Chain A
Amino acid sequence: MSQQISAVPAIELRGVTKRFGSVVANRNVNLTVHKGEILSILGENGSGKTTLMNMISGIYFPDEGEIFINGEPAVIASPKDAFDYKIGMIHQHFKLVDVFSATENIVLGLGKAEKYDLKDAEERVVEISQRYGFEVDPKKKIYTMAVSEKQTVEIIKVLYRGADILILDEPTAVLTPQETQKLFAVLRRMREDGKSIIIITHKLHEVLSLSDRVAVLRKGEYIGTVETAKTNESELTEMMVGKKISLNIERSEPKDPQVRLEVHHVDCTNRQGTLVLDDVSFSVNSGEILGIAGIAGSGQRELLEVIAGLQKTDSGAVLYHNPKTGNVDLLQGKTPLQIRELGVRLSFVPEDRLGMGLVGNMDITDNMMLRSYRKGKSAFLERKAPKNLAEQIIEELEVVTPGTTTPVRRLSGGNVQKVLVGREIAASPTVLMAAYPVRGLDINSSYTIYNLLNQQKEQGVAVIFVGEDLDVLLELCDRILVIGGGKVTGVVDGRTATKEQVGLLMTKSEGGEQA
């Protein structure tokens, strides 16, 4: 039996096209996945990976083209249909009910034919876990779980429903290196069990270590599929980007580093009443890039917002050494406006670009004004200087836009970020904070951002870089501050530290409970 069926692909896409308005998200994509195979979908952000997977899992419906499941033409018009075809998708953003236990979430939404028997379900959950090597407590409530556990629940959920084809959308984005290895071991066991696995990622080393074949998308177009064993990083990058690029980030020695910013024993409680920063102390020097590493949500955002005057502290101090006056100014407890009036030139590229750094519905010129519109005594706006700045940034950073009057939300992620970083750098800061500045950016744009940060560093700016990709942090930063659960768990030298070392520090604060 297996001989015959395995000749037929588990899933096959022929000429699939999906458009959003005039934007073609996928054009004429052909793809096959066999039984017992791990296929990576590789492509830069905006290349259409997620759209393609959403069509397989019934969230979008293709405008053109056909999908075959086990050789039969299939119409997948809803996620329910996808279940019927034994397709399960694990989304980037988990869809779990916080107050329910793992098992309750897993059986949630099952068909009426299934009997609701929690005890029976728990047994099956345990059975599935043992079969593939998951570690999960079926009775544990979701809100007490770490991110990796929640992901495990999502995966078991689709297996429980009998999925034979699993799609994982950037599953490693939220995991530490150690957790990633565990996940990969599980996925390999599923492959041995005859499941077909599609994994979306843009991390090249993961592709190479895990998958059997790699399908590459670029700007919505299907470029080709290669066997992992017969390829390498630079070939894949070339397929992804369309041209050869160097993958090295420059790192110069800091020149004349002097303490620019000090954070002393800062505690901070968020609106929900949880302690998000716990006795955080560190300092940043001029002319260096300080990296901040940590699992998502370990207090990185709050830390930057405390410095920027957007978040109140419970206790502790933030001190700024003004290079012009030689004064030491206290920043905490001040509003962003008061901080600026002190003469502190602090630029901040926040994580939420369109929700905080920019106004999506305003055009580029009006977004340039956000920082500078108060200038002058007139009650009216002066749009000439911002317009010039907009034109200058568009030209220098090669922003792809129809013009300065285009609302920024219509730009692609990389161009949005260029506009934001461009504006923040134009304020000639002495401290530049950037939270996940390359998230969602293609390789070219990412390197543009790294270069800009390096330029700022060479001009003597104290740069704080919050990143998620440890490889990049280790290549770019002079020092790396690691935080876990709101605590500083270590500061390492970016030139000598290893990925494993940083990874261990990331989980240190919760290390006690984890196996």
Chain B
Amino acid sequence: MSQAIKKHHEPLIHITKRDQMVWWKGWLIRAIAILAALVVSGGVIMLLTGLNPISVYAEMVDGNFGSSRKLWMLLQKTAILLCIALAVTPAFKMKFWNCGGEGQTLAGCIAAAACMIHLGDSMPGWLLILVTFVMSVCAGALWGVIPAFFKARYNTNETLFTLMMNYVAIQLVEVLEVLWENPKNSGTVGVINRNSQAGWLPDLFGQRYLLNILIVAAVCILVYVYLKHSKQGYEVSVVGESQNTARYVGIDVKKVIVRTMIVSGAICGLAGFLLVSGTGHTIGPNTVGGQGFTAMMVSWMAKFNPIVMILTSGLIIFLQQGATAIATTFRLHDSLADIVTGIILFFIIGCEFFIQYQIHFRRSRKEGVEK
């Protein structure tokens, strides 16, 4: 009778969920992951280009820390990316998947550029900066609140809605580029108020980007406090965890969705202000350059903790800058730099699996059984 039954093999690997891990073990795994990533991408570099990976890595470090200008660039770019990541975080905590960081930031850029171009001569410098700031923040908030309103009112899909709003913003910039073209027939807006520098954020202690960095640092602390210690932040968490619970305790879920997206969009608008008024002094469809999407990854990798986001945004910019550096120094194609960045991110994100789960192999299990 038993012959009729097929023989089954024990599964080769067997995955179980870990209990909470001691913090240092988690960091050890992450450190091993980074090492492994460097080894693997080193192998890939050698295989594809024949270059010595050590010198490639040295160049990556040099590309970020090699001169004070490079260092300031690292900090500045980190600040902007961090700002957008901080912006999308309240929405993410609410499980409102705001993929519209790109568009909301660009909306802020548009407002900033519009103020600088059209109001440049009509008011004192400090007032212009203030007006530009307020208008950018409002524009970002407006771009954020539109999908929130439709989500709250008609339960539309926020992912698609915010994504589409990105394209609207990009198209809008392309139209405005024609309008604001300077010099004529250049096809670009060019540096706004090149001579008067009206609406430009001032240098601080002779450093061009210091003010940007300080503003973002302040935003980082504010977002942290808002999410962790304010009543509104608490409501965001409750709505994100369970809308039923929120309703049960009398939280107006629709109101919270709309309010949180105003906050989210406003901070994006601020990032747009920093990009135009504080950095490039110009606008184009690529002013935000995909950072609205990178910021989502930054926020996720930090598990929505604003303080950890300083690290994750810094890491991403470090990789990007380093990749550009090796591409120019060794005259490699940009794609190789992308490959290296991809490998490193894969390992860093992938190692979370080993922090969450444990893997047993068949042989080690058998020994336990036969005892």
Contacts and interface: CB of A to CB of B under 8 A. Distances in A.
A75 B238 CA distance: 44
B8 A75 contact: yes
B22 interface: no
Contacts of B9: 75, 77
B17 interface: yes
A336 B8 contact: no
B157 to A, nearest CB: 18
Given A66-B369, A380-B230, A381-B231, A355 B11 contact: no
A160 B6 CA distance: 20
Contact of B250 (A66, A77, A337, A359): A337
A131 interface: no
B365 A63 contact: yes
Nearest to A310: B247
Contacts of A63: 16, 365, 368
A340 B6 CA distance: 64
A379 B11 contact: no
A21 interface: yes
Given A359-B241, A366-B234, A77 B8 contact: yes
A379 B2 CA distance: 71
Interface string A363-407: 000100111011000111100000000000000000000000000
A380 B231 contact: yes
B204 interface: no
A370 B249 CA distance: 6
B14 A61 contact: yes
Contacts of A380: 229-231
A335 B242 contact: no
A371 B249 CA distance: 6
Interface string B1-40: 1100111111100101111000000000000000000000
B237 A362 contact: yes
Contacts of B14: 61
Contacts of A84: 5-6, 8
Contact of B234 (A19, A69, A77, A381): A381
Contact of B248 (A357, A361, A366): A357
Contacts of B171: none
Contacts of A337: 250, 252
A255 to B, nearest CB: 31
A26 to B, nearest CB: 14
Interface in A343-364: 348, 350, 352, 354-362
Given A84-B6, A379-B230, A381-B234, A361 B241 contact: yes
Chain B, interface SS category: mixed
Interface in A15-67: 19-23, 61, 63-66
A362 B241 contact: yes
Contacts of A356: 242, 244-245, 248
A76 interface: yes
A387 B92 CA distance: 27
B232 interface: yes
A335 to B, nearest CB: 6
A81 interface: yes
Given A77-B10, A357-B248, A22 B19 contact: yes
Given A336-B248, A356-B242, A359-B237, A379 B232 contact: yes
B318 to A, nearest CB: 31
A20 B16 contact: yes
Contacts of A134: none
A22 B234 CA distance: 31
Nearest to A339: B250
Contacts of A277: none
A350 B14 CA distance: 37
A308 interface: yes
A85 interface: yes
Nearest to A358: B245
A335 B368 CA distance: 58
Contacts of A362: 237-238, 241
Contacts of B368: 63-64
A350 B244 CA distance: 11
A84 to B, nearest CB: 6
Interface string B215-254: 0000000000000011110100110011011011110100
A19 B17 CA distance: 9
Contact of A348 (B18, B229, B248): B248
Contacts of A193: none
Interface in A179-193: none
B247 A359 contact: no
Contact of B245 (A74, A355, A381): A355
Contacts of B10: 61, 75, 77
A23 B19 CA distance: 8
B199 to A, nearest CB: 32
A374 B231 contact: yes
A121 to B, nearest CB: 23
Contacts of A70: 1-2
Given A85-B5, A356-B244, A369 B16 contact: no
Contacts of A76: 8
A370 B16 contact: no
B242 A355 contact: yes
A308 B248 contact: yes
B6 to A, nearest CB: 6
Nearest to B248: A356
A127 interface: no
8 contacts: A20-B17, A69-B2, A75-B8, A355-B242, A355-B245, A362-B241, A379-B230, A381-B230
Pairs A-B, 9 closest by C-beta atoms: A337-B250, A21-B19, A336-B250, A22-B19, A75-B8, A72-B2, A356-B244, A359-B241, A370-B249
Given A310-B247, A360-B242, A381-B229, 18 more contacts: A19-B16, A22-B19, A61-B10, A61-B11, A61-B14, A64-B368, A71-B2, A72-B5, A74-B8, A76-B8, A77-B9, A81-B8, A336-B248, A337-B252, A354-B242, A356-B244, A380-B231, A381-B231
